[in-house]
Amino acid sequence: MKGTGPTSWSWLRRARFSLMYRRGRPPWDSGISPPELVATVTGDTALLSGRALDLGCGTGTNALYLARLGWDVVGVDFVAPAIARARAKAAAAGPLAGFVRFVRGDVTALGALDLGPPASYSLLFDLGCVHGLPPEGRSRYASGIAPLAAPGATYLLYAFAPRLMRGRPIGMTADEVRALFAPHFAVMRAVEGTDGGLPSSWYWLECQPAR
């Protein structure tokens, strides 16, 4: 029987997500890039294409969207079926203006993955990944992304407000987001909304120069 520590929790989480992908399309895998990401890279104040890191990339919808616009993208997810689908979609996509690569790995142990040189990502994107981690996992996640972000990089984060899901707390308040990523990132803008009638928020953070 497996224990109840962080390692067993991660194993159970991976098994649950893998099963959901094997059964079909999970509810969050819409196949459509969110308008908040679209506006960030194509709006009036759009970021110039560079390197992007998609954390919890799932089947690669958003990584491929960015690659079509000329970004060089690395997508990370710990669920094997999701990464397999993402790689298949990339192979079927044909020529891209940019580049995309999918890595199976744990977002709480980014230092163990081959993600390229430090301070090289000008865009980091998280569509509902970190908000589902336990506190110790969130801390490791935040520590792992900080060295990868270029000075002034944009970190676009979507998170539920705190609530229980299957009896387990998930979600983050705005104050928790600020505290978790300080001093490496500052929240520049936050937009509250709802997801299926439940509160959620988008956060635009900026990587702060080292002091």
pLDDT in tens, 133-162: 999 999 999 999 999 999 999 999 999 999
| pLDDT (mean) for 36-45 | 95
C-alpha dist (Å) from residue 177 to 68, 83, 133, 154, 183 = 30, 27, 13, 15, 11
Q: Burial letters for 176-196: b for 16+ Cβ neighbours within 10 Å, e otherwise?
A: ebbebbeebbebeeeeeeeee
Average pLDDT over all residues of the chain: 90
Instruction: Give CA 51 to chain center in angstroms.
Output: 14
φ and ψ of 152, to 5 deg: 80, 0
- pLDDT tens, position by position, 48-71: 999 999 999 999 999 999 999 999
**pTM, full prediction:** 0.89
| Rounded CA separation 205/196 (Å) | 25
C-alpha dist (Å) from residue 90 to 42, 94, 116 = 21, 7, 20
| Rounded CA separation 132/138 (Å) | 9
- pLDDT tens, position by position, 86-116: 999 999 999 999 999 999 999 999 999 999 9
